[in-house]
A and B are shown apart, each in its own frame.
Chain A
Amino acid sequence: MVAQAEDVIPQRSPLMAFMARWLLTTNHKEIGTLYLWLSFTLFFIGGAMAMVIRLELFQPGIQFAEPLFYNQMVTMHGLIMVFGVVMPGFVGLANWQIPLMIGAPDMAMPRLNNFSFWILPFAFTLLLSSLFMEGGAPNFGWTFYAPLSTTYGPPSTDFFIIGVHMMGISSVLGAINVIVTIFNLRTPGMTLMKMPLFVWTWLITAFLLIMVMPVLAGVVTMMLTDRHFDTSFFSAAGGGDPLMFQHVFWFFGHPEVYILILPGFGIASQIIPTFARKRLFGYHSMVFASAAIAFLSFIVWGHHMFTAGMPVWVELSFMYATMLIAVPTGVKVFNWVATMWRGSMTFETPMLFALGFVILFTIGGFSGLMLALVPADFQYHDTFFVVAHFHYVLYPGAIFGTMAAVYYWIPKWTGNMYDERLGKIHFWTAVIAVNLTFFPMHFTGLAGMPRRIVDYSLQFADFNMVSSVGAALLGMTQVLFLYIVIKTIRGGAKASTRVWEGADGLEWTVPSPAPHHTFETPPAFPPIMDENESTSLNE
């Protein structure tokens, strides 16, 4: 955010210089900043779509959105949030932090890094432009099941397909960069089993990305040929199989949901020890649990298809494998609690968000476990119970995780402390709003409200109204967050090098703000932390 313009060619006009700096930059910090702003911008766009959804669902009847438009909103909201907000947000954090945390001067492939980022604004422009096309934007849900998305898809589906390809290329290139950086640029002495957990979880995430993004690319390519080149991969009339679409999609889709959460696990594992002033409990088991989750994520995809008609032994296998994921996930939660146990905790904003993450994510994990039971899933599937479940893991998981990370590291990025009072207000309103919005969805779902419906019968009215009120509040908290971030960039109490009293790790040995170039020579590891020096704010 504040970065010196030292290597910008001097004789250009200020505008050109600005453009050249951001368009051509190969600096991991600047690229990280770009990713984070892109993610934040799309968060407002995807959030505005959520507001349209909740406005329409405020009351039974059609008020603001016609059915076809509603379906477009639901689809674009899901796509933007998953591919445009959470993924670029985490990549932005990776860009900023991985080199700083492993003592590397930059990412291993800086030009590739620039390219990976600059694909994205074009991909999302393409995707969003479909809203203005004849026939409207994609309207088949973020899971784009065939044949609704193939034979019956609107013309803009092709733009969606190209957009997904571009995002996929960006993600794979970004992931390769992360892997190469972590394997080659660690400072001497930092063995794999000494890496910070954020780096570990990102390494695992990067492998997941490399394995599943090509599958996504494959499935959209099959759609494209089904739509235009007379193939019948997914059309029973031509000898294909619509269910195969679901298998291929979810083979990508389930690992994808762990892509959306693993870096969040890493963030919580950095923040909780800092503010508990105690080392992370069970480092090794944390690493193994992350790897186990990643492995299991490849053999559970069928739990999204229990009502699609599978042989009973297949259903049972997917059920057992899914239940098994609860074990490593539980281990992580227990380890976080054990880290807090008999620590000496303070509750600055990053810690609050990390704790909110742990608690609310665990609630989402519980409903996930319930969804794994096949007979019960016959009732829960495709209802608002599922919407409640995945928002409990995504909102407090991915979004709270990212926000915790921003509060935690922004003093290092900008050199300024954020406004602690506003940060706390932000946290508490967000927690209240998230629960007000998403908790009632459990009940509407259990009472029988299907998801992706524009209008509902009268029995669901009360809880939907509560949800919509919560959503409005949740929308407002984002504006507060934006204000806090801008205020921090523009000024505030100066941050020290270590920033947090309990902070540990290489990133806390460089000055705040981190200079444009850091670790041009590999630093000593383990780092020597300055005991007396911190700007920790309270308690």
Chain B
Amino acid sequence: MISMSNGLRNCLTLAFLASFSTLTFAVEFDLREGVTDMSQRIQDLHHLSLAVCVVVGIVVFGAMFYSIVAHRRSRHPKPADFHESLLVEIVWTTVPILILVGMAIPATTTLLEIEDNSDPDLTILITASQWKWHYQYLEADIGFYSNMTTPTAQINNLEPKGENYLLEVDNPLVLPTNKKVRFLTTSNDVIHSWWVPDFAVKQDAIPGFINEAWARLDQPGLFRGQCAELCGKDHAYMPVVVEVRLEAEFDKWIDDQRLAKELSSGQAVADRNKTWTMAELMPIGEQVFLTHCATCHESTGVGQGVTYPALAGGEIPNGPLEVHIDLVMNGKGGTEMQSWAPQLSDRELAAVITYERNAWGNSTNDVVQPKTIYATR
């Protein structure tokens, strides 16, 4: 209730402000200024067009309200009978055209700059899939997925919501300051749209096509956005988080990532050489399942109607092992069941498949080894 009366108060204040000034809105009423040159120029353009609309509105509605008051029958019993004037029509056709030209010029120059994607210092390939982002640093050969981390308990109102509710991820995109960063967007399934309001970058990610956009950032910070194109069930749960670091810190981060990559490949070798037991794999499998699979198949494996099949007692988890491995690794084309081979490590895949075959009453007793997964890749 308190926040409602806040909202109402905001609304009234706004009505008041809007009628007097276009440029002094409290921040929450206004388009974000953002942190790039382009986002600021877009905000200027927004203010310009808003101001034009407010001025035209005052003139037109002013005339109308004057007429409503002065030309009501009680005050003005005898209507005039003019009903045509070529001159007036010409005037109110040409004046708007001139105003529009005045708006089109700054819009055009800004657009030409925004669309100038030449000479980037750094290129990120952003690949969307339901419902996460993958970031690939083309120059550095590093890539990772970025998933929302807001717990379901917060979404279902079982826990208080955190400050960055729905706008927090496991791995943010890390970018350097003072570089022209080019974003290439594409998608593996449906159309998504990568949007960071503070950069004024919104670019659709379309399967089979690559779109371009860019930003130059001059201050470090954390910036949050969301997927902007309806992309299915969890469209609301596909945040974008970008962490901008000073150039030197960024370079160090890139080196760390490279090292981690090598380590993890060393790790992968170790995983393969080891023979895992069911007891070791099940908890890892459960973790992987809850993070990646439960949004569709439910944490209890019961699925959701015909759309997302049940795995508890399901045909494939209780059927031949090779079929199960193949389905999880390669997905099923044309359905939301995507291929997980590029997203999960051998150990994680082995664990999640083992888990599916032995959880919720499934009891095949199969233990899948990372080396089997490696051999199937």
List 13 A-B residue pairs with CB atoms under 8 Å apart, sorted by A's residue number.
A61-B157, A62-B157, A63-B157, A145-B190, A147-B207, A151-B334, A241-B209, A276-B71, A281-B84, A309-B212, A374-B107, A465-B4, A469-B4
Complexed CA–CA distance, A331 and B89 (Å): 7
CB atoms of A278 and B79 under 8 A apart: yes
Cβ–Cβ contact B41 & A307, under 8 A? no
* Pair count A-B, CB < 8 A: 313
A461 CB–B CB distance under 8 Å: yes
**Contacts A312-B112, A358-B64; A236 near B84 (Cβ below 8 A):** no
* Docked CA distance A266–B306 (Å): 48
**Residue-by-residue, is A210-228 near B (CB-CB < 8 Å gives 1, otherwise 0)?**
0000000000000000000
A-contacting residues, B225-263, CB 8 Å: 225-237
Asked if A309 and B204 make an inter-chain contact with CB atoms under 8 angstroms apart, the answer reads yes
Q: How large is the interface on A (under 10, 10 to 19, 20 to 34, 35 or more residues)?
A: 35 or more
Q: Mark A301-342, 1 if CB is under 8 A from B, else 0.
A: 000000111001001100110011011001101100111111
Chief secondary structure at chain A's binding surface:
helix
Instruction: Give the distance in Å from the alpha carbon of A128 to the alpha carbon of B203 in the complex.
Output: 34
How far is B288's CA from A60's CA once the two chains are assembled, in angstroms?
Answer: 27
Question: Considering residues A155, A236, A462, which has the most beta carbons from chain B within 10 angstroms of its beta carbon?
Answer: A462
Asked if B88 lies at the interface with its beta carbon under 8 angstroms from chain A, I say: yes
Asked if A378 lies at the interface with its beta carbon under 8 angstroms from chain B, I say yes
B93 touches A307 (CB 8 A): no
User: When chains A and B are docked, how far (Å) is the Cα of A323 from the Cα of B105?
Assistant: 12
Q: How far is the CB of B101 from chain A (nearest CB, A)?
A: 9
Residue in A71, A282, A323, A452 whose CB lies within 8 Å of B89: A282
Cα(A308)–Cα(B208), bound, Å:
13
User: Is B209 a contact partner of A462 (Cβ separation < 8 A)?
Assistant: no
Q: Does B128 make an interface contact (CB < 8 A)?
A: no
The reply to whether A340 and B64 contact each other, CB–CB distance below 8 Å, is: yes
Contact of A68 among B79, B166, B307 (CB under 8 A): B307
User: Which chain A residues lie closer than 8 Å to B169 at the CB level?
Assistant: none
> Which of B115, B163, B190, B225 is the one whose CB lies under 8 Å from A458?
B163
Answer whether residue A123 sits at the interface, using C-beta atoms and an 8 A cutoff. Answer: no
Asked whether any CB of chain B lies closer than 8 Å to the CB of A45, the reply is: no
Task: Tell me if B57 and A363 are in contact (CB < 8 A).
Answer: yes
Q: Is the CB of A337 within 8 A of B201?
A: no
A343 to B81, CA, bound (A): 8
Given A145-B191, A284-B84, verify A383-B100 contact (CB < 8 Å).
Answer: no
- B34-51 at interface with A (beta carbon < 8 Å): 38-39, 41-42, 45-46, 49-50
**0/1 string, B43-75, CB within 8 A of A gives 1:** 001100110110011001101100110011110
B336 at the interface (CB under 8 A from A): yes
> Which A339-362 residues have C-beta < 8 A from chain B?
339-347, 355, 358-359, 362
A408 at the B interface (CB under 8 A): no
Q: Is the CB of B100 within 8 A of A323?
A: yes
Cα A376 to Cα B49 in complex, Å, equals 9
Residues on B with C-beta less than 8 A from A466 are 4, 7-8, 10-11
Closest 8 interchain pairs by CB? Answer: A236-B208, A462-B7, A453-B236, A309-B211, A366-B53, A342-B80, A279-B83, A344-B79
B24 close to A (CB within 8 Å): no
Question: A147 contacts which of B108, B189, B203 (Cβ < 8 Å)?
Answer: B189
Residue among A155, A283, A373 with the highest chain B CB neighbour number at 10 A: A373
